[in-house]
Amino acid sequence: MIDRLQAQMQAMQMLTKMQDVTANNLANINTPGFKGSNVFQKMVQKRIDGQMVTQAVPQQQVDMQQGVLEPTGNPLDFGIKGKGFFVVENSEGAQLTRDGRMHFNSNGFLVDENGSRVMGDFGPIHMPEYLKATGRGGDKANLEVADDGTIRLDGEVFDRLRIVQVKDTSQLQRKGSNYLSAPEGVMTDDSSSKIMQGYYESSNVDPLNEMVDMMKTTKMFESQQRAMTTTDQMMGRATQQLGKF
């Protein structure tokens, strides 16, 4: 009987965590490049004192579904069509992001919203030529990024945006600030994703799904609570009845 209470309590704790994940998805419904999380349960059986016990272990996965590509017309906004990530570098090392709103800083490095340098095939993308061109003859500076990431300034090839893929999405770790990271070994160069210049990717969170998840979790939480109350009542009755003897 006490075991049952324990199991019900664990279930409620887990549902709370699932609700937390849904809350985070909903909070990032307008965050560019955001990828939602899916939580699911894995049934695990183990043997305790010769008895088989089933336990549900929650697992989380980054939902890599494509977000809508919003046109901006800004030549330094990039969206990715496919499963790849941009690679940027900050003080903590290489980070992966799908948020492609970039600009050149005053030193001529291509940086993202957080000021982290965007990586190309040969390290950080550094193009002081672009600043010179926009500073003087701006209308002539024509920065073109092909769908394989090749950067051309006035027709001349300069660099290529580094795009990597992580096949096993369970290796992706969320870092906040629109960053994810993965161990070096699981990142592979990606040639199948297409770069869309003049677009950025919006969040892939679907409000409909999340609302349904939210209601489902709340209801499941309620029914677990009912079950708990029933267990409590049964225990109460048992103690009462048995106490008569």
Partner 1 sequence: MPFRALTTASLGMSAQQKSVDNIANNLSNVSTTGFKKSNIAFQDLFYEDIAVSKAGASANRISNDSPRLQLGHGSQAVSTIRNFTQGSISETGNPLDMAISGDGFFRVEKPDGSIGYTRDGNFTRDSSGMLVNSSGLSLAEQIEVPMEAKAVDISQDGTVTALMGGNNREIELGQIELARFSNPAGLKAEGGNLFSETQASGMPFVDHPGSEGFGNVRQGYLEGSNVDVVTEMVQLIEAQRAYETNSKMVQSAEDMMSVTNSIKR
Least Cβ distance, residue 237 to partner 1 (angstroms) = 14
Shortest gap between Cβ of 89 and partner 1 (angstroms)?
Answer: 17
Closest distance between partner 1 and the C-beta of residue 134, in Å? Answer: 5
Stretch that binds partner 1, among 83-91, 116-124, 186-194, 212-220 (CB under 8 A): 212-220
- Give the footprint of partner 1 on residues 74-93 (CB under 8 A): none
Contact flag: residue 63 with partner 1 (CB under 8 A): no
Among 4, 81, 160, 174, binds partner 1 (CB under 8 A): 174
Would you say 48 or 245 has its CB closer to partner 1?
48
Instruction: Give dist(CA 151, CA 218) in Å, integer.
Output: 49
Among 140, 155, 156, 184, binds partner 1 (CB under 8 A): 140
In sequence order, what are the residues at sequence separation of 6 or more whose Cβ sits closer than 8 angstroms to the Cβ of residue 102? 76, 77, 78, 110, 111, 112, 113, 118
- 117-120 vs 85-90, strand pairing mode: antiparallel
Q: Edge-to-edge strands of the sheet including 143-145?
A: 143-145, 150-153, 156-160
7 makes contact with partner 1 (CB under 8 A): no
Cβ neighbors of 97 (< 8 A, separation 6 or more) are 33, 85, 86, 88, 112, 178, 179, 180
Helices and strands of the chain, counted as H and E runs: 3, 19
Token readout for 27 is: 């909070």
Query: At 191, which amino acid appears?
Result: S
Q: Is 99 in the site for partner 1 (CB under 8 A)?
A: yes
Closest CB 66 distance from partner 1, rounded Å: 18
Q: At what angle do helices 2-27 and 207-244 cross, to 10 degrees?
A: 160
CB of 37 to partner 1, least distance (A): 7
Among the residue ranges 78-86, 147-155, 159-167, 168-176, the one whose residues contact partner 1 (CB under 8 A): 168-176
Beta pairing, strands 78-81 & 194-197:
antiparallel
In the list 148, 150, 225, 235, the residue contacting partner 1 (rule: CB under 8 A) is 225
- Region class of 154: left (phi > 0), else alpha (psi between -120 and 50), else beta: left
- Point out which residues bind partner 1 (CB under 8 A): 12, 15-17, 19-24, 26-32, 34, 37, 39, 42, 44-47, 55, 57-60, 73, 99, 101, 103-106, 113-114, 131, 134-140, 170, 173-178, 207, 210-211, 214-215, 217-218, 221-222, 225, 228-229, 232
